[in-house]
Amino acid sequence: MAANGAECEQPQKRLSPKDKQNGSSTDSSLRERKQLDREERLSLVLWKRPFTTLQYFCIETLITLKEWTWKLWQRRGVVFLTVVLFSLFSMAYSIEGAHQEYVQYLEKKFLWCAYWVGLGILSSVGLGTGLHTFLLYLGPHIASVTLAAYECGSVNFPEPPYPAQIVCPEEEVLLESISLWTIMSKVRLEACMWGAGTAIGELPPYFMARAARLSGADPDDEDYEEFEEMLEQAQSAQDFATRAKLAVQNMVQKVGFFGILACASIPNPLFDLAGITCGHFLIPFWTFFGATLIGKAIIKMHIQKLFVIITFSKHIVEQMVSLIGFIPGIGASLQKPFREYLEAQRAKLHNPAGDGAAAGESWLSWVFEKVVLVMVCYFILSIINSMAQSYAKRLQQKKYSEEKTK
């Protein structure tokens, strides 16, 4: 018994000041080394080290493809079922018959929904930096439908060419029939699909943090490391950014489903932290994803959609163009291209596809196209840089593990 008591008391012995000093110096040196490694990885970008970045990107791409191939092989039953269903659909698609009308309808709706879901995923998935697809695609689409609805007095645009091109219907409709709810109903499908895509894009941080918590391994993610450091320094946090992150973490952890719903229902740049928090504290998947889906695809999406529709309603647009003319010095010169652009868009709505097309496009359209092109190129570059940095981290972790085994 005495021996057992002595053994039980041993772990409770306090460390000597010398041991504490050695432990703190080891931790500080390890922290400094990790910081240096992080700075070295961040310097691995195309405009500084192009050849090394491209080499690491190609290797990381091959490793990722190999990992995904292995995961698909482990789920070969699901893959086989998917292939069978795809083959059946291909047969139904190619065989002539009365069912072709329904097949074409399903194909059209599926591709339309998949397009917006894909844009939503690109907007929120952690691939370097998100592509702002709401500002580049969904927002302009809602705005063009809103302007066309007020100009045409209807939302029954002929299909085709809608949605590729909006043309007013030939029959006349009273302007009073257009309401806010009518326009919201017209763009509800694409808006909700985009919101669902953003919810799907929030899953990687959740799965990464959950897997790290269950396995006890260090995850290959900077955000998770920052999250763990934030939890360690929660009591001494002073700056506003850290306090805001802690507020999100506390709300999600303590309130649960409704806390996640509240964070997902408003434009929130810190929502990645909510996914990491839910994964770290092992919140059930359907609690996290259900709240995120409802918040982003229904509540937040209707708020954003309502804002765009109100902003681009006929009288608001005319007032904004009129206000541009009051800018001292350059007001008149700025107002003219905006008016020309709006007139061109109105004329285009009343012309059938291919008839009376304008010979030259407005410089506003040209500028917007170039902005979209630049942002897409930057998004691609950020993916290349991010994957190259991921491979650099693999090499650093391999070096750490080799040093530990020595």
In this predicted model, what pLDDT tens digit does every residue of 230-256 receive, in sequence order? 555 555 555 656 666 677 677 777 777
Asked whether the beta carbons of 175 and 153 are under 8 A apart, the reply is yes
CB 249, CB 263: distance < 8 Å: no
Q: What is the pLDDT of residues 174-207, one digit of tens each?
A: 555 678 888 899 999 999 999 999 999 888 888 8
**7-11, 214-218, 259-263, 333-337: least confident range:** 7-11
For the chain, give the mean pLDDT: 77
Type of residue found at 243: R
Separation between Cα atoms, residue 30 and residue 263, nearest integer Å: 35
pLDDT of res. 7: 43
Residue 62 has pLDDT above 90, yes or no: yes
> Looking at residue 10, what is its pLDDT?
43
100-124 vs 76-94: helix crossing angle, rounded to 10: 140
Contacting residues for 146 by C-beta, under 8 A, at least 6 apart? 183, 308, 309, 312, 313
pLDDT band, residue 356 (cuts 50/70/90): very low
Extract the tokens encoding 312. Answer: 């681009």
**pLDDT band of 27, cuts 50, 70, 90:** low
pLDDT tens digits, 110-143: 999 999 999 998 888 754 455 678 888 898 899 8
323 or 384, higher pLDDT: 384
Question: Is the omega angle on the peptide bond into residue 352 within 30 degrees of 0, that is, cis?
Answer: no
pLDDT score, position 240: 59
Between CA 26 and CA 176 the distance in angstroms is: 74
Among 255, 283, 254, 117, CA closest to 199: 117
pLDDT at 358: 44
CA-CA-CA-CA dihedral for 168, 170, 175, 180, to nearest 10: -40
Q: For 277, which DSSP code?
A: H
Q: Enumerate residues 6+ apart whose C-beta is below 8 A from 340.
A: 362
Helices (H), 159-239: 180-186, 188-201, 203-215, 222-232
Phi, psi of 267 (to 5 degrees): -60, 115
Selection from 324, 352, 316 nearest residue 340 by Cα: 324
- Nearest Cα to Cα of residue 219 among 83, 7, 394: 394
